[in-house]
Amino acid sequence: MPSSYQSLQPLHHDLLVTAALLPQIPKPVGILEITAVEVGVVAIKGLFSGRYLAMNKRGRLYAS
């Protein structure tokens, strides 16, 4: 009959692996709301910031 320590070893190993991998898991940085304004034009808004993502005539992105 295994001791209680031996039965916890797989769980302990899984926790160590999970803790080691946590810094590598990407974290969400925001949620974007995409709305059609007209044909060929969309509005992209960050829900948490309330700011819009825009593109100038040269194709560079900026926040407004």
- Provide the pLDDT for residue 41: 82
Cβ-Cβ contacts under 8 Å for 51 (sequence gap 6 or more): 45, 63, 64
Number of domains in the chain: 1
Is-contact 61 51, C-beta < 8 A? no
pLDDT of 50 strictly over 60: yes
Is-contact 30 17, C-beta < 8 A? no
pLDDT tens, position by position, 21-40: 666 666 667 888 888 888 87
- Provide the pLDDT for residue 5: 47
In this prediction the pTM is: 0.48
Range of the domain at 56: 4-63
Distance of CA 44 to the CA centre of its chain: 17
Distance of CA 54 to the CA centre of its chain: 21
Q: Which helix (H) or strand (E) holds 16?
A: helix 4-21
